[in-house]
């Protein structure tokens, strides 16, 4: 059964492999270039919280040099969704074209057929998204060294969550496909749904899965606890000279500081670097959990309702 399932998803597997190859062609040369620049600029010596002006200048130069690529790579957070949705196609096309009637009247039960077909699809999604995450983790490593792994673009393209995202997109497309038996509509809506779910989690749910911390300090030097942290909101001073800023994704621990603030009391809400794994694991569990429910639903609906 599994060999048959492989053969029947060959096109989609090839497309997914093609997408990964395309990314590799872009990322491997630029990644080598970036790693070389990181070492030749001596940036690994600049890995500290309160760095001197020469380090700051070099980091600034390094980051502006690779800024275009970094911004482009942030978009790769959509790729796991694309992989997941694409891999649902062989299953939905089977229902849409009626070929399941051929498959289910061979010598094996439809339970075995579903297990084989869905199992291989999930496996392909896990391997492909895992490869993507590894590639991105390697590519992003100089920036992760400088900015921390909670940085946008590292956190959601180079962590284990990527696998969760891909199987979630796959599960959503499978469930819609089982209901509608229309591949184009199911894949499109599933991709939009993936995007909506990501926005919901990024902007609202994530900081409720693992609560951010709060901290206060006085003066311009940033405290140790903000090293590689992700700042949700920050405030300082009071009255006329005070400021308040924030946003769900915040920024890296670089603050916009008003005027002469050497004695100002600052306050920040932040996710410390140590929250990387708790955040990754809880978010991965959330996405894979929903994916498991969706895939189980697709299997059950197909087994019981389709003839």
Partner 1 sequence: MSDIAVRTSELGKRYRDGWALRDCTLEIPAGSVTALVGPNGAGKTTLLHLVIGLSRQTSGTVEVLGLSPRSDAKAVLPRLGFVAQDHPLYRALTIAETFTLGRRLNAQWDEGFARERAGRLGLDLDKKVGKLSGGQQAQVALTMALAKRPDVLVLDEPVASLDPLARREFLNGVLEAVVETGMTVILSSHIVSELERVCDHLITLADSRTQLAGSIREIVAGHRLLTGPRSDAASVARIHDVIRETHTERQTTLLVRANGHVYDSCWEQHEVDLEEIVLAYLGYRPGMRDTSPAREAVPS
Binding site for partner 1 (CB under 8 A): 1, 3-4, 7-8, 11, 97-99, 101-110, 304, 307
Rg (CA), the chain: 23
> What is the per-residue DSSP string for 170-183?
HHHHHHHHHHH--H
Kindly tell me which of 97 and 218 has the beta carbon lying closer to partner 1: 97
Give 212's DSSP letter.
P
Closest CA to 226 of 81, 108, 50: 50
3-class secondary structure, 53: helix
Kindly tell me which of 53 and 98 has the beta carbon lying closer to partner 1: 98
Closest CA to 153 of 145, 143, 168, 164: 143
To partner 1, the closest distance from the beta carbon of 301 in angstroms equals 14
Kindly tell me which of 16 and 23 has the beta carbon lying closer to partner 1: 16
Kindly tell me which of 1 and 210 has the beta carbon lying closer to partner 1: 1
To partner 1, the closest distance from the beta carbon of 188 in angstroms equals 22
Kindly tell me which of 11 and 254 has the beta carbon lying closer to partner 1: 11
To partner 1, the closest distance from the beta carbon of 109 in angstroms equals 5
Kindly tell me which of 93 and 201 has the beta carbon lying closer to partner 1: 93
3-class secondary structure, 210: coil
**In angstroms, rounded to a whole number, what is the distance separating the alpha carbons of residues 218 and 239?**
17
To partner 1, the closest distance from the beta carbon of 9 in angstroms equals 11
To partner 1, the closest distance from the beta carbon of 8 in angstroms equals 6
> What is the per-residue DSSP string for 200-258?
HIIIIIHHHHSPPEEEEEESSSPPGGGTT-EEEEEEES-GGG-EEEEEEEEEES-----
Long-range contacts from 10-13, C-beta under 8 angstroms, 24+ separation: 11/90, 12/86, 12/87, 12/89, 12/90, 13/87, 13/124
To partner 1, the closest distance from the beta carbon of 84 in angstroms equals 22
Kindly tell me which of 39 and 101 has the beta carbon lying closer to partner 1: 101
To partner 1, the closest distance from the beta carbon of 117 in angstroms equals 12
Instruction: Count CA atoms within 13 Å of residue 269 on its CB side.
Output: 13
Cβ–Cβ under 8 Å, residues 244 and 235? yes
Q: What does the block give as tokens for 114?
A: 């579903």
Partner residues linked to 245 by β-bridges: 234
């Amino acid at each position: 059964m599994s060999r048959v399932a492989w053969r029947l998803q060959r096109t989609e597997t090839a497309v997914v492999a093609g997408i990964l190859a395309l990314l590799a062609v872009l990322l491997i040369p630029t990644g080598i270039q970036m790693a070389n620049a990181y070492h030749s600029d001596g940036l690994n010596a600049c890995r500290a919280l309160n760095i001197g002006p020469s380090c700051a200048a070099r980091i600034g130069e390094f980051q502006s040099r690779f800024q275009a690529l970094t911004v482009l790579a942030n978009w790769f957070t959509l790729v796991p969704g694309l992989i997941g949705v694409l891999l649902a196609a062989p299953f939905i096309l089977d229902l849409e074209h009626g070929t399941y009637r051929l498959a289910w009247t061979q010598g094996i039960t439809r339970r075995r057929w579903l297990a084989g077909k869905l199992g291989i699809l999930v496996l392909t999604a896990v391997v492909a998204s895992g490869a993507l995450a590894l590639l991105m983790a390697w590519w992003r490593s100089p920036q992760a060294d400088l900015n921390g792994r909670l940085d946008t673009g590292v956190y959601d393209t180079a962590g284990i969550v990527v696998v969760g995202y891909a199987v979630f997109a796959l599960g959503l497309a499978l469930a819609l496909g089982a209901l509608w038996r229309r591949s184009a509509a199911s894949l499109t809506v599933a991709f939009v749904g993936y995007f909506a779910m990501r926005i919901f989690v990024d902007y609202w749910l994530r900081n409720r899965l693992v609560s951010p911390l709060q901290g206060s300090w006085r003066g311009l030097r940033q405290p140790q606890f903000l090293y590689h942290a992700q700042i949700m909101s920050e405030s300082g001073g009071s009255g006329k000279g005070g400021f308040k800023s924030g946003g769900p994704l915040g920024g890296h621990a670089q603050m916009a500081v008003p005027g002469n603030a050497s004695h100002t009391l600052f306050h920040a809400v932040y996710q410390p670097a140590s929250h990387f794994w708790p955040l990754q694991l809880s978010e991965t569990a959330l996405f894979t959990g929903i994916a498991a429910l969706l895939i189980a639903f697709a299997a059950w609906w197909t087994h019981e309702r389709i003839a």
